[in-house]
Chains A and B, each alone.
Chain A
Amino acid sequence: MRYFLAEGWKSTKRNVSLISLGTMAVSIFVLGVFGLILMNLSNVNSNLRSSIEIRVYVEDNLTGQGLGALKQQIESIEGVHRVTYVSKEEGLSRLAKQLGEKAGLVDILGENPLPDTFDVRVFNADSTPDIASRISNLPHIIGVNYGQGFTEKLLSATRFIAVATVVLAVILLGAVMFIVGNTVRLSLVSRAQEIEVMKLVGATDWFIMWPFLIEGMIVGFLGSSLSGICLYVVYRACISRLGLVAPFIPIITETAPVARLCAGLVGLGVLMGVFAGGVFIKKHLEI
């Protein structure tokens, strides 16, 4: 085993170029960027889905009894989790809070312009549009609002990025194969004589192949860990900058999932390296 490692390392040092390592690192880095975007989008998505609410606006003339009956009607719709009544007064004070310093606006309005509302939470975010339309068909309802359109857009954006990531991963796999294959080819040429002698004196195919597999592994590891580390550092920098400039963007700030992604990239790089090394050595040795 020591022999294989030593041979693989020696051969890597001799045959791997900075350009090919750099190309590989950049490729995997780009893949990692897409992975991070995807991670963040799906994070936003799930946050949003868990906080999604249907706001139901009720006619002004409804009394306590009518409101109670309406609340029951909404609660009886399948898939509705919880219904909270928000009176127009409460609504106004919430608005005032949101407006903060500009709360003076509310006074200018004089009369409270807000309707009474129900905040409806559903069990499954996907059923939101359906439930919303059923609520709007009930009597004494002025309208419903659940951020129509936005959730759909976010979802399709996430899907698009996911597909793009997969396509990119396939293309990059090709690039990595090419780079590792090229390195292995170079070392094949430089070791052709040695391999001839090995075959001559009865080395097994595995014995001949090991150093090349290890070489592929080393190249894969070097390229991917370079990009993994860069990605991690760059993302951390982004988090702290963004935290100052635009704190409202719900970016993932915990380091654990990001570190996991980076480690995954390194693992992927190593696997692709070994795979590419194996494929090329098999092809060129004709064994």
Chain B
Amino acid sequence: MLIRFYDVTKVYPSGATGLFSVNTFIGKGEFVFLVGPSGAGKTTFLKLLTREILPTRGQVLLNGRNITRIRPTEVPYLRRTVRMIFQDFKLLPNKTVYDNVAFALMVTEKPRRQIGALVNEALKLVGIESKAEMYPDELSGGEQQRVSIARAIVGDPTVLLADEPTGNLDMETSWDIMEVLLRINKRGTTVIMSTHNATIVDVLKQRVIELDNGRIVRDDEKGVYEGEAEYNAVLPG
């Protein structure tokens, strides 16, 4: 067992409900799409797993540990096993591709002599090793997202959370990113990805959890998008 949400409710200080009484279970090595209309609670779901926010009620378990109860000093260690990527990449503009990825190891106090090999391996895995010495603003959006994925997986996390990772990318580039994410998932990393991209969800036939108004309204093995979002015509090929 890996991730368990037990009666999780999140009400923001503003009064908005992020999640309402959510119960679910995600096993090790799964690939899960999180879908639902804007404001459904997808980002809230992911943020609870990195403990960027705390639930108002309920428990979030990771490997049997209630992460809503861990001490603040333990949060950094949680975030080394649960890494997150975003649609805006969050790369540091004044660092090269290589340094952006190495940064994630450096701040976790990894011994210096181990860093080089690990960074190169991660860059190779996402297919960007040839641009290691370039700066983020010299790269395309898809390439930047690859770098941010490399940074997320370089410490070998057990869970990779992706909040609309293809949100800023065109369809073709999105497929490249999906290919990278699936490859990482095949290596054993659990991947949870929120998305509005119906085509991707429908084609890949993975587990789909649909949220609406903070509630889980559907949870299908090998599901489809099924929402009101328009289908995108471009298919892989």
Contact = CB atoms under 8 A, between A and B. Distances in A.
A287 B72 contact: yes
A202 B107 contact: yes
A203 B107 contact: yes
A81 B80 CA distance: 77
A60 interface: no
A197 interface: yes
B233 to A, nearest CB: 35
A204 B76 contact: yes
A195 to B, nearest CB: 10
- Interface size on B, as a range, is 20 to 34
A200 B78 contact: no
B90 A194 contact: no
A201 B161 CA distance: 12
Nearest to B104: A201
Contacts of A287: 72
Given A193-B92, A194-B92, A205-B73, A200 B79 contact: yes
A197 B78 contact: no
B208 to A, nearest CB: 26
B175 interface: no
B135 interface: no
A212 to B, nearest CB: 14
A204 B90 contact: no
Interface string B125-147: 00000000000000000000000
A92 to B, nearest CB: 84
A287 B84 CA distance: 20
Contacts of A202: 76-80, 107-108, 155
Contacts of B50: 200
A3 B79 contact: no
A199 B108 CA distance: 10
Contacts of B109: 207
Contacts of B108: 201-203
B10 interface: no
Nearest to A204: B76
A205 B107 CA distance: 10
Interface residues of A, number: 15
B207 interface: no
B155 A201 contact: yes
A136 B78 CA distance: 85
B4 interface: no
B79 A201 contact: yes
Contacts of A194: 92
A198 interface: yes
Contacts of B83: 200-201
A121 B84 CA distance: 83
A90 interface: no
Interface in A182-218: 193-194, 196-205, 207
Interface string B92-109: 100000000001101111
Contacts of A193: 90, 92
Contacts of A198: 103, 107
B215 interface: no
A132 B103 CA distance: 78
Contact of A197 (B72, B73, B90): B90
Interface in B66-80: 72-73, 76-80
Contacts of B42: none
The CB with the most chain B CB atoms within 10 A, among A196, A200, A203, is that of A200
A3 B155 CA distance: 19
Contacts of B78: 202
A177 B140 CA distance: 44
A287 B104 CA distance: 19
Nearest to B108: A202
B196 interface: no
A199 B72 CA distance: 12
B73 A196 contact: no
Contacts of B155: 201-202
A207 B155 CA distance: 17
B234 to A, nearest CB: 31
Interface in B2-48: none
A145 B234 CA distance: 111
Contacts of A196: 90
A200 B89 CA distance: 12
A147 B196 CA distance: 94
Contact of A203 (B72, B76, B84, B152): B76
A1 to B, nearest CB: 11
The 6 closest A-B pairs by CB, nearest first: A203-B107, A202-B79, A202-B80, A201-B104, A202-B76, A204-B76
Given A203-B107, A205-B76, A287-B72, 14 more contacts: A193-B90, A196-B90, A197-B90, A197-B104, A200-B50, A200-B84, A201-B80, A201-B151, A201-B155, A202-B77, A202-B107, A204-B73, A207-B76, A207-B109
